[in-house]
Structure 1
Amino acid sequence: MHFVMNENGFSTELEFGKLEVSSNEEFGFRPYQLLVSSLAVCSGGVLKQICEKMRTPLHSMDIEVKEVVRNPDVANRVEKVHLHFKLSGEDLSKDKLPRIMELTKKNCSMVQSVVGSIDVIETVEII
């Protein structure tokens, strides 16, 4: 990746397209939004793969970011992110959910990258 400074932040050209990053939401994605998005979407992708491997394919998944806690005294750092997964699928039972969520957290590269720095809480419900 290669980022270039512009008057409102930074931009980069990626295979999918241009990514604009700025501390001002009017001009691009804020860095913390990208961080939280990476945690949520990586976890969601891993969760989907685990369900497929367990022969429990999902019909739908919604991921809600219920809480982001930032510390204004320490560079406004992200300290906690609560992700809530809403799932529907065949043979999806409450009995399988603890194992699915354990494997999801263990195998998500983005969550594992912030272990010890950011408390990532993952909750789940069947809809």
Structure 2
Amino acid sequence: MHVELVHESGNWILLRELGFSPIQTVVAVTAACNAYVYEGILKKQKIPFKLISVDVDYEINEKLGTHPISAIHVHLVLNVDEADQEKAIKDLRLIAKNCPVVQSLNPSIEIDETVSFSDEVALTK
């Protein structure tokens, strides 16, 4: 048995042996939502930036028989002018309350966002 999410640009198969597991999908969409929301926050704050990468890792609660997610760690790598970096770091706190995926998850799941800065030069307003 598997679930297939039909999409015009290609289907996602949710089957551990063939595609993504449901846990991997939850982690991936959490990271994507965090990145989309953070980009929106930076644009609204008029902070020029370039998103370089989004890295995500997660932890499972092995003590519970169902092995639910216990933590999701999202790390964003951006190019932001040095003068705006402190503000960009402070804006991380706005992600959770503006991300519908995070708001939909069990509150016991610890979600943290971190950011680091790259030296690439091209910025997006």
Percent identity of paired positions between Structure 1 and Structure 2: 27
In the alignment, which of 53, 58, 64 is matched to residue 68 of structure 1? Answer: 58
Larger % of strand: which?
1
Asked whether the equivalents of residues 58 and 72 of structure 2 are also in contact (C-alpha less than 8 Å), the reply is: yes
- Is 1:51 the equivalent of 2:42? yes
In the alignment, which of 19, 37, 40 is matched to residue 28 of structure 2? Answer: 37
Tell me by how many angstroms 1:92 deviates.
5.8
Q: Would you say how many aligned residue pairs link Structure 1 and Structure 2?
A: 117
Tell me by how many angstroms 1:42 deviates.
0.3
- Pairwise CA RMSD: 1.9
Partner SS, residue 120 of structure 1: strand
Bigger relative CO (Cα 8 Å, ≥ 6 apart): 2
Larger % of helix: which?
2
Instruction: State the partner residue of 1:93.
Output: 84
TM-score by length of 1: 0.80
Instruction: State the partner residue of 1:77.
Output: 68
> For the residues of structure 2 that align with 1:85 and 1:12, how far apart are their CA atoms?
27
Q: Which sections of structure 1, spanning at least 5 residues, go unmatched?
A: none
Deviant stretches of 4+, over 4 Å: none
TM-score by length of 2: 0.82
Tell me by how many angstroms 1:90 deviates.
4.5
